[in-house]
Structure 1
Amino acid sequence: MDLIYKSTRNNQETATASEAILKGLAGEGGLFVPSYIPKLDKSLKELSAMSYQEVAYEVMKLFMTDFTEEELKHCINSAYDKKFDTESIAELVKKEDAYYLELFHGATIAFKDMALSILPYLMTTSAKKNHVKNEIVILTATSGDTGKAALAGFADVPGTKIIVFYPKHGVSPIQEKQMVTQRGDNTYVIGIEGNFDDAQTGVKKMFSDAALAQEMNEAGYQFSSANSINIGRLVPQVVYYVYSYAALLARGEISEGEQINVVVPTGNFGNILAASYAKEMGIPIAKLICASNENKVLFDFFTTGCYDRNRDFILTSSPSMDILISSNLERLIYQTAGRDAEKNREFMKELNTDGVYTITEEMKEQMKDFYGNYATEEETAQTIKEVYDKTGYIIDTHTAVAAAVYKKYEKETDDKTKTVIASTASPYKFTRSVMNAIDPSYDSKTDFELIDELEKLSGVKVPQAIEDIRSAAVLHDTVCETADMCKEVKKILKIK
């Protein structure tokens, strides 16, 4: 049976997988969700004998039923190749009492590569399937990592342009350098005077602007998204949770059917939502541990049932999680509201107008598999140092937030279930914060001196992604006010 997608804000709006990938965002600002979560049709034992690419096919074929086997395998094999510096694509490393799932072995050394390496292939295949004549304009807001991964994925892909907005003063120096040095005739990077939420709101506004869509169509363009609001981003993320369980089973670390916990450093909620989809597919995951930094809007939500973005926005050393409007949470709200689009739309309206909504006790009960906590800046730095001192293993700031929250969870519950921590970025991406945590005397060194010091300390070779930007020229230097984002897009597309 074909799986269809529905809008979280209008149950009458449906799409095939390829149509949902092309649109990115549903009408009225809704998100596309699968009409049901399919069950895996291979046993855990069978999956444990498979490569990453084979697991990807077994998962994605169930969500993308309008793709042929040939089309889907072409997308998977084109994405997960030599762009990754490890044959296994995602490494599972045991340190102390946890398994770190290293999701940063792709071209831009962050977990976004896991989905954004395949999205351009899914997008161009979808365009062909749906006889799209317009050029696709990927419009994306980034808190640091999505931007570079999307730019790298879509650079010079025929029939596409990509425009990335990022908070000018809200990403790490390495993240910014990676974006502003991006080559490609179809790539555009714009800094905004504002934070990630401002960028994300501006992008969503353009997606739901009917007059702009008409102007775009007349000029031969149509928008799509590379953010995790696009199901073409979300579905590939489900794969690595299925794969991590299969890898643990293959290594004899767990027995078939044994439950594990998963800890995910969370900002926009897509990565942990993917883990919950893996659980619904049949992967024995017990607790979904949602780790926040000091922008702890999700921790407060899971604790109280009240989502409240009316608070100070804090710039932290884990900038990819500096988010107060977690877009993908809407998919969980819709699901726990009984897939009632009207009810969900009311919650989102309250969020938009008052910045706050409160779910029912019944909905909260359905979220009992989730546990939320947060780590302060001090706890994050302390965790980096402790893990390094005890094991010699160096983790980035986002992974450290997850590791700190895992320790809190363990202490609070005494739960000894084997646990996978999603390690979402290479420490090379946040060198200054990481090295300062290990030893504050490193602060006097330049960013690239710190990179060389990190190589000495970790014994891990400097990734090519970092070597590439050492002497790269800045190719994108546009900065605008939030109010002028649409104007900049029109300028790029030469729409008057």
Structure 2
Amino acid sequence: MEVLYKSTRGNGETVTASQAILKGLSDDGGLFVPTSIPALDVPMEKLAAMSYQEVAYEVMSRFLTDFTEDELKNCIANAYDAKFDTEEIAPLTKADGVYYLELFHGATIAFKDMALSILPHLMTTAAKKNGVKNEIVILTATSGDTGKAAMAGFADVPGTRIIVFYPKNGVSPIQEKQMVTQKGKNTHVVAIHGNFDDAQTGVKKMFNDKELGKELADKGFQFSSANSINIGRLVPQVVYYVYAYANLVKNGEIADGEKINVTVPTGNFGNILAAFYAKQMGLPIAKLICASNENKVLFDFFRTGVYDRNRDFILTTSPSMDILISSNLERLIYRIAGNSEAADRELMQDLAKDGKYEITDAMKKELADFYGNYASEQETADAIAKLYSDTGYVIDTHTAVAAAVYGKYREETYDETKTVIASTASPYKFTSSVLAAIAPEYDTLPVLEQVDKLSALANTEIPRAIEEIRTAPVLHTTECDVDQMPETVRAFLK
């Protein structure tokens, strides 16, 4: 069955998967969504016997129907290879009765690698399929992880350039060091004087700037996105939820067909939306537990039906979740509005004009699959400390937000359904905050000395991604104000 894509704000026009991946964002400012969610029509006993790469093909081929088998398998083989430090790609670790889905074994030790390792291959394949002659310029805003993972994926890929904007003083020292030391003649990194929402809004404005688009097209360039607004980011994320479930069946932890809960630390909403899509495909998921940090705009939305970004922006120890505009939520809004472009358009206009919108009672009822809550900074640190004290297992701050929220969910509901927590980053990416929780006497050491202490405490090897930046030279020093972002892009594309 062919799956086509249309904009959440459009008039029903459809494009192929490869066209949606190339464009990133629809011309009307909407996000591409599949016209229908394909069924996961492979028996679980077969999936349970498959490698990660084989499961990826079964899931992604259902969504990306205009890619040939050879094209898609080639993209998958190039993505999920020795860049990952475990053969399983996304292993499950059981600790304190919960299954942690480790999504941080790729080149940049964060879950963004799971999708951004394959996106460059999907995009260059899509360009060939559609006869694109222009150079593709990947324009991306990052709250810490997407930027490095995207650059690692696109570095020196022919026919592409990548420009990443991140908030100065809004990412961890390790995250910043990873970005500013990135090699590749086609990579550019810019620190903006603002927060992540400013960066994301600036990137969206450039996508919607027709004059800038024409100016660059005349020079042989066209924009695309590596942010989670790109459907080519979202589809690969569906894979690891299917793989996790299949592994639980294979390992005898659950019976085929038994429902599980999934808990996801959530900022931009893409990662939990992928779990929702997996459920829509037929994966036996009961509750989708949406975990926020103190920037709890999503918790408030699930509690009240009002999405309101008019609030203070809080810098936390889980910076990749320091987000007040959760772009991917629009895809869920479109769905719970009965796939109505008009309803979605109206709500997004309210968001642009007033910074908030309110969904109807009928739409609220469609959110029954979700539970939302948040963890304070203290609760986050306590979750790291408790799990380490009880089991010796060390998690990062984002995963700890999820663990703390899952604890609240169990206390409120008494639900003992087996649960997978998406472990979205390596603790080595946030050493200061992790050590402050488990061994505070070390949290003032220089960052790379902290890494050594964490390795000894956790009894785990230091990831390659960290070893590489010990002596790597800084290659990117550009900074700009938010209103200078278009000029900065022009300067890179002379």
Same fold at TM > 0.5: yes
Amino acid at match of 1:211: E
Local SS of the residue matching 2:143: coil
- What SS does the aligned partner of 1:28 have? coil
Matched, 1:285 2:280: no
Deviation at 1:419, TM superposition (A): 0.1
Instruction: Give the match for residue 51 of structure 2.
Output: 51
Q: CA deviation at 1:439?
A: 2.2
**How many Å separate the matches in 1 of 2:78 and 2:459?**
30
**Which residue of structure 2 aligns with residue 272 of structure 1?**
272
Matched residue type, 2:410: E
**Alignment size in residue pairs:** 494
* 2:328 equivalent to 1:328: yes
Deviation at 1:440, TM superposition (A): 1.9
The alignment partner of 2:479 has SS state of strand
Letter in 2 for 1:466: I
Confirm or deny that 1:163 pairs with 2:160.
Answer: no
Counterpart position of 1:26 = 26
- In the alignment, residue 93 of structure 1 is paired with which amino acid? T
Equivalent residue number for residue 126 of structure 1: 126
How far 1:13 sits from its partner (Å)? 3.0
Please name the residue that 2:369 is paired with: 369
Q: Distance in 2 between matches of 1:305 and 1:444?
A: 42
1:122-177 CA distance string (max 9 Å, x none): 00000000000000000000000000000000000000000000001100000000
Partners of 2:331 and 2:228 in 1: how far apart? 11
Q: Which residue of 1 aligns with 2:106?
A: 106
Aligned partner of 1:83 in structure 2 is 83
Kindly state the Cα deviation for residue 12 of structure 1 after the two structures are TM-superposed. 2.9
Query: 1:12 & 1:456 partners in 2: Cα distance?
Result: 56
State the alpha-carbon separation in 2 of the partners of residues 321 and 217 from structure 1.
34
Partner of 1:220: 220
Alignment partner, residue 145 of structure 1 = 145
Q: Which runs of 4+ in 1 moved over 4 A?
A: none
Give unmatched runs, 5+ long, in structure 2. none
CA distance in 2, matches of 1:443, 1:62: 47
Q: Note the C-alpha offset of 1:45.
A: 1.5
| 1:443, distance to aligned residue in structure 2 (A) | 2.5
**Structure 1: distance between partners of 2:124 and 2:138:** 12
Letter in 2 for 1:417: T
Matches of 2:153 and 2:291, distance apart in 1: 28
Deviations 1:240-261 (A, max 9, x none): 0000000000000000100000
Q: Deviations over 1:229-287 (max 9, x none)?
A: 00000000000000000000000000010000000000000000000000011110000
In structure 2, C-alpha distance between the alignment counterparts of 1:45 and 1:313, rounded to whole Å: 46
How big is each residue's C-alpha offset from its partner over 1:339-370, in whole Å with a ceiling of 9 and x where there is no partner? 11111011001001100100001101011100
CA distance in 1, matches of 2:7, 2:106: 31
Separation in structure 1 between the aligned mates of residue 14 and residue 319 of structure 2, nearest angstrom: 34
Which amino acid is the alignment partner of residue 484 of structure 1? Q
Contact 2:5 2:20 survives alignment (8 Å): yes
- Aligned AA for 1:141? A
Contact 2:432–2:444 (Cα < 8 Å) also in 1: no
Q: Which residue of 2 aligns with 1:298?
A: 298
- Equivalent-residue separation in structure 1 for 2:12 and 2:35 (angstroms): 12
Partner of 1:174: 174
Corresponding letter in the other structure for 1:286? A
Shift of 1:11: 3.0
> Following the alignment from structure 1 to structure 2, what is the Cα–Cα distance between the partners of residues 362 and 48?
38
Provide the identity percentage. Answer: 71
1:463 shift after superposition:
0.5
Q: Deviations over 1:82-105 (max 9, x none)?
A: 000000000100001200000000
Letter in 2 for 1:24: G
1:48 CA displacement: 0.8
Amino acid at match of 1:316: T
- CA shift for structure 1 position 444: 2.6
Residue equivalent to 2:396: 396
> Which residue identity does 1:476 align to in structure 2?
H
Measured after TM superposition, the shift of residue 294 of structure 1 is 0.1
In 2, Cα distance between the equivalents of 1:153 and 1:14?
A: 28
Look up the match of 1:471. 471
1:305 shift after superposition: 0.3
Alignment partner, residue 491 of structure 2: 491
- 1:426-445 maps to which residues of 2 (within 5 A)? 426-445=426-445
Pairwise CA distance, 1:216: 1.1
Q: Which residue of 2 aligns with 1:196?
A: 196
Matched residue, 2:408: 408
SS in 2 for 1:86: coil
Tell me how far apart the structure 1 counterparts of residues 11 and 124 of structure 2 sit (CA, whole Å): 27
3-state SS, counterpart of residue 469 of structure 2 = coil
SS in 1 for 2:443: helix
Q: Secondary structure at the match of 1:472?
A: coil
Q: Counterpart amino acid of 1:457?
A: L
Could you tell me how far apart the structure 2 residues matched to 1:201 and 1:414 are? 40
Equivalent-residue separation in structure 1 for 2:477 and 2:179 (angstroms) = 10
Correspondence for 1:73 = 73
Which residue of 1 is the match for residue 425 of structure 2? 425
Please tell me whether the aligned partners of residues 138 and 223 of structure 2 are also in contact (alpha carbons under 8 angstroms).
Answer: yes
SS in 1 for 2:268: coil
**Letter of the 1:164 counterpart:** V
Opposite residue 266 of structure 1, the aligned amino acid is T
CA distance in 1 between partners of 2:12 and 2:464 (Å): 47
Name the aligned partner's letter for residue 372 of structure 1: G
What stretches of structure 1 of length at least 5 have no aligned partner? none
Amino acid in structure 2 at the alignment position of 1:8: T
Q: What are the Cα deviations for residues 43-82 of structure 1, in whole angstroms up to 9, with x where unaligned?
A: 1111111110000000000000000000000000110010
Read off the aligned partner of 2:136 and give its amino acid letter.
I
Amino acid at match of 1:350: D
Matched residues in 1 for 2:196 and 2:342: separation? Answer: 28
Q: Distance in 2 between matches of 1:480 and 1:68?
A: 42
| AA partner of residue 344 (structure 1) | D
Output the CA distance in 2 between the equivalents of 1:277 and 1:204: 24
